A = this chain, B = another copy of it.
Amino acid sequence: MKTLINPDLKEWASLVRRPAKSVAQLDQIVDEVFDNIRKKGDKALYEYTEKFDKANLKSLKIEEGELKNSSKKISKKLKDSIDVAFENISKFHKEQKEKIQKIETTSGVVCWRESRGIEKVGIYIPGGTAPLFSTVLMLAIPAKLAGCREIILCTPPDKNGKINPAILYCAKLTGVTSVFSVGGIQAIGAMTFGTKTIPAVSKIFGPGNQYVTAAKQRAQNFGAAIDMPAGPSEVLIIADKNADAEFVAADLLSQAEHGADSQVILLSTSAKIIASIQTELKKQLTKLPRKDVAAEALKNSLAIQFKTEKECMQFSNLYAPEHLILACDNADELTKKVVNAGSVFIGKYACESAGDYASGTNHTLPTNGFARNYSGVSLDSFVRKITFQKISKKGIQNIGPAIEEMAEAEQLFAHKNAVTVRLKKLKK
């Protein structure tokens, strides 16, 4: 990891820019798969699954028995750990339910909001070597709490046509309606258009490779909403001179192991702590199974020594990190200065892994600088907040004249008339 000392303010804009990534032109491939799904439905899904996942499936839908049995196929220790995470994530997201609050804006005019779960949502869970069952928890728990009527989950099968039992266990635990063995562009297409087996959904959630990302982006052109734009994961750590170098290095590496395109940033006013952390990084790196991936990510990464803590915070806000760890004695104080970040970890013991798995906060967060304009996934992501208004005779008499005046000034005379007919009748 390269170290910079007091970079000039002029350089900041280029320093916060994420490592350039050549984005392949995937729209054509996506369109082809989407077209095929619209034409051939389930048949296309079986064909693509055979082609890309090398699995010859008899059925796309996971049977209820397999979901029920999943708890027996994982260790008791893993099951108990998932249950701990389930409890904490549920507790945190449950409190995000908005209470109905009726507001009388003018005498006789009462307005309020009510949340309704999006009726049908889809969750995508990538395949590959590691089963990302934690993401099932992070998406299906708030979906269920939001009152979504139908929660479907698509994930690619392995060569033997199987889904990892930890994924199935989490789906069962959270109340997912149906699980389907389908991955990649074809899964996103199926959830966008619907097939005989897989229902179309209104919003698609979840991570994925560049194909899945391109497909989700494209799905928006066909009426589906998506959770947020995707990008490589990242962490920014601000460490003061009293930070624990071993902890900070471990946190940097836990982000770096995600992928060669991950980025980790370390900021400090202390040259000494930066040096200690760099030493620790080298030491810990050698022991990691995914050391090649992490080493590659560290090449794109930076340690920056600033003169003041204020500069550290300013740089962090400009960078807008997905994860921000404040490994500082005055971390509580610093939180007030956080403007742009996805999720913030305060103090020595709040490691990013805690939020990734089990503390209760959501791990689906805005990357790639999108923390400037997007929030992470929460209960809000699964509801629509509908406004309601109730207006009495007195209410329309109170605000009617203002509406008439404004509608006329906007030259919308039918808008004005809708009030006029009411006021006239009330005068009779």
| Shortest Cβ distance from residue A135 to the other chain B in the assembled complex, whole angstroms | 9
In angstroms, Cα B402 to Cα A80, docked, is 8
Contacts A399-B359, A414-B257 given: A105-B92 contact, CB under 8 Å? yes
Chain A interface residues toward B at CB < 8 A: 74, 77-78, 80-82, 84-85, 87-88, 91-92, 95-96, 101, 103, 105-106, 109, 111, 113-114, 116, 118-119, 129-134, 166, 202-203, 220, 223-225, 229, 244, 246-247, 250-251, 253-254, 256-258, 284, 287-290, 294, 332, 335, 338-362, 366, 369-376, 378, 380, 383-393, 395-396, 399, 401-403, 405-407, 409-419, 421-422, 425
Residues of B within 8 A of A129 (CB): 411
Contact A375 B384 (CB under 8 A): yes
A82: which B residues are within 8 A, CB to CB? 402, 406
**Contact in complex: B385, A346 (CB < 8 Å):** no
Report the minimal beta-carbon distance from A199 to chain B, rounded to whole angstroms. Answer: 13
A-B contact pairs, 26 of them (CB 8 A): A78-B406, A82-B402, A87-B106, A88-B109, A92-B103, A95-B103, A109-B354, A116-B340, A129-B411, A130-B411, A202-B372, A225-B373, A246-B425, A250-B418, A253-B418, A258-B412, A289-B411, A332-B390, A335-B388, A346-B389, A350-B396, A351-B418, A351-B419, A355-B387, A358-B403, A361-B387
A417 and B284 within 8 A (CB)? yes
A96-B113, A247-B418, A359-B389 known; 13 new pairs, CB 8 Å cut-off, are A81-B401, A109-B359, A118-B372, A202-B373, A203-B373, A223-B373, A287-B417, A346-B391, A353-B415, A354-B419, A357-B402, A362-B387, A372-B384
A342's nearest neighbour on chain B, judged by CB, is: B386
Q: Tell me the smallest distance from the CB of A303 to a CB of chain B, in Å.
A: 18
| CB nearest neighbor in B for A424 | B246
Q: Tell me the nearest residue of chain B to A363, going by C-beta.
A: B387
Q: Give the oligomeric copy count.
A: 2
CB neighbours (8 Å) of A370 from chain B are: 223, 225
Cross-chain contact B421 with A250 (CB below 8 angstroms): yes
Name A389's contact: one of B74, B332, B355 (CB within 8 Å).
B355
Which residues on B sit within 8 Å (CB–CB) of A91?
103, 105
Answer whether A85 and B406 are a contact pair too, CB < 8 Å, given A118-B373, A130-B412, A246-B425.
Answer: yes
